Amino acid sequence: MSKMNVPRILVGGLVSGLVMNLGEAALHAGVLGQDTEALYKRFQAPLPNPAMTIPLLIGMTFLLGLVSIWLYAALRPQLGGKLKTALTAGIVVWILAHVWSAVYLGAGYAGIITPPLAWIPVIWGLFESTLGTLAGAVLYRETVSK
């Protein structure tokens, strides 16, 4: 019988989080940067202080990476193969983090949050979550107990 390998979950989770953080940086600093800035100007709101928000967002994205690899490790005994299991875990993380967030922002803040700011991250997040989980899953090995 095999057991979850916590050190490998941590290493794989950090790699997964790194991939997701790189994706988030490209999305928010590049793809959505001007739209986000325009939204703040439209409402005459000050831009958030990066010294406070960036560490929080980076930390939470690393946590998301750790959760994705923990979920991958938990699903492996039931689903078997690495690719199928990693994709499944990545899609579950995508639904819980990205889809839920867009529905919340799009419905809860309709008229404030523009559709691109709500929905582009969903599409982006599908690739980010699955690629991050695949990257972390490559490093995962189960502990074999005797």
Q: What is the pLDDT of residue 3?
A: 87
- Alpha-carbon distance of 122 to 117, in angstroms, equals 9
83 C-beta neighbours (distance < 10 Å), count = 9
Taking the model in full, what pTM does it have? 0.91
Domain ranges across the chain:
2-144
- Nearest partner of 114 among 49, 38, 1, judged by Cα: 38
Q: What is the pLDDT of residue 114?
A: 86
Q: What is the pLDDT of residue 108?
A: 84
Q: What is the pLDDT of residue 146?
A: 60
* Mean pLDDT of successive 10-residue stretches along the chain, which has 146 residues: 88 98 94 91 91 96 98 94 93 96 86 88 96 97 74
